[in-house]
Amino acid sequence: MPRKTLVRRRVAFAALVLTALVLMSVFFREPATGVLHSVQRTGFDVLSPLQGLASRAVQPFQDGYRWTKDLLHANRRNREMAAELEQLRGQLVLLEEARQENERLKAMLELRDAEIFPKGSTFVTARVIGRSPTRWQEWVEIDKGTADGVALNQPVVGATVPLDKSLSGKGLVGKVIAVGEHAAQVQLIIDPESRVAAVVQGTTERPQGIVEGMVPGKLIMDYVDRDKVVELKRIVITSGFGQIFPKGIPIGLVESVGEEDVNIYKQIEVRPFVDFSTLEEVMVLTNPVIVGEKLEDMRSVAPQQDMGTGSR
Amino acid sequence: MIPAWLADKGRLVLALVLAVVLQTIVTSQLPILGVTADLFLLLTVLVAIARGAGVGLVFGFAAGLTADIVFLEPVGLRTFIYLLVGYGVGWYVEEFGLQSAWMVVILAGTASLLSQAVYGLFQFITGSAGGLLAMTRLQILPAALVDGLLAAPLYLGLVRLRLLPRPDAGDPSFR
């Protein structure tokens, strides 16, 4: 390249760089009404109608482009949303479960204040976490133990929602027969080994007897004098004489009354208030008010049992 | 009869007017990857490739000044950047030649990247922009890609319109 051309180019380069810098400097220093701003505004005024027209003209193409783009993404988005939906469904199930549990626990708290169970009773609510493997025994395992104030032979009652004045689901469940630090075994009243002193309400005679469990999961009230009148649908409650269950805990309703010539007692079938097959939460009466002997005395007599798992 | 030098300059002015029209009507309306192509910069690069550093320098100045007015930006900023681009690209082609058609794409992409970086740096210094890293991801790199890919078809279009000479006219090494 000739030297003259090279020099001329360098001079032009320096001059244009300088001009650009001066323009920039002037632009920043001048007011909004300055020359450069005015030129820019004029250019804007000239070009903006063109841009407006172009914008309207291009709009259908832009829409078409966006539509195509959306269509291409639709399948992927659909898969993502399907996966998200499944995840949300899973969360919904968990939330529904939590809501129901919350409702049950709330009802149990309210039940504590209701006058269904003996006055002065205090409760420990517990969840059923295990069941007897066969119908030959009827027991459940709960998630509360000595650490929560649960002790041997404490009565256990049902706590089923909805909370209302009915006794359905709120009757006697059984008693604690083994206890660990954080779990306990509850013998249900339908267990063949269970015995509960009971009385039939509703008549002046108030016939008394022993409610026993029978395979498969029935309740029979035995040792009721034959000369006592027992009406159907009467409520059977604990009598408090068994030294374990306080007086007044509802057990069930008289379902049928049987008499045999060879038997000096009536045999009464009792339909329990508690549905043992769907038992989920229970309440352990931790300070049952016993008629007669003190519970502490009874506890000292009761055999000490562990929560051994070897027998299960 | 129009003198050759006048016709030559007329073609460049026509190319610049065409850039204004296309930038205003078409390019600004069709963002790609979230950015719009900068036809003024592309034209500067292509003119510099075809005509060398001297013409590239002057054309870059004119195109940058036009871009400052059209884009409503501080007058002188793009003027400064584009004249450097025009001179730099022209100098590179004069020194090393245009080895292949891909060099058009690479030069346009690189010029876009550098000019955007300088522009971003200016915005960063004046405090009128967001994070430089975020802008690199959202503006600088996509713009470089779009400008680079658009350079080749634009070059062919301008050659076909006889606004620029054929790329291989004076360079036997060009393939």
pLDDT tens per residue, range A232-287 = 888 898 888 877 888 888 899 898 888 777 777 888 899 998 888 778 888 888 87
Query: Treating both helix axes as pointing N-terminal to C-terminal, what angle do B102-126 and B39-51 enclose, rounded to 10 degrees?
Result: 130
pLDDT digits (tens, 9 = 90+) for B107-136: 999 999 999 888 878 877 776 545 667 777
Write the single-letter amino acid at B92: Y
Residue type, B142: P
* pLDDT, block means (10 residues), chain B with 175 residues: 78 86 76 84 92 91 89 87 94 85 88 88 68 75 89 87 70 46
The domain spans of chain A are 123-306
Closest CA to A54 of B46, B29, B15: B29
Cis preceding linkage at A118, omega within 30: no
Task: Give per-residue pLDDT as tens, B55-70.
Answer: 999 999 999 998 888 8
Task: For chain B, say whether A64 makes contact (Cβ under 8 Å).
Answer: no
> Rounded distance, CA A154 to CA A157, Å?
10
Residue-range domain boundaries for chain B: 7-26+34-160
Select the residue from B75, B81, B91 to test the A interface by mutation, using most A Cβ atoms within 10 A: B75
The ipTM value here is: 0.83
Q: What pLDDT is stored for residue A300 in this prediction?
A: 37
* DSSP H or E stretch at residue A51: helix A35-113
Q: Using alpha carbons, select from A281, A279, A276 the residue that is nearest to residue A101.
A: A281
Pick A156 or B8 by higher pLDDT: A156
Fold of B7-26+34-160: Arp2/3 complex 21 kDa subunit ARPC3 (1.10.1760)
Name the residue in chain A with its Cα closest to that of B72: A40
pLDDT, averaged across chain B: 83
CATH code that applies to domain A123-306: 2.40.10.350
Summary mean pLDDT of chain A: 79
B118 touching A (Cβ < 8 Å): no
- Binary contact (B65, A54; C-beta < 8 A): no
State the number of CA atoms in the 13 A half-sphere of B90 facing the CB. Answer: 23
**From A6, which residue of chain B is nearest by alpha-carbon distance?**
B54
**pLDDT value at A191 more than 70:** yes
pTM of the model: 0.49
Which residues of A are less than 8 Å from B53 in CB distance? Answer: 9
Report pLDDT for A296: 40
Give dist(CA B36, CA B142) in Å, integer: 9
- Let me know: does A127 contact A142? Beta carbons within 8 Å: yes
> What's the CA angle centered on B51, arms B143 and B60, to 5 degrees?
45
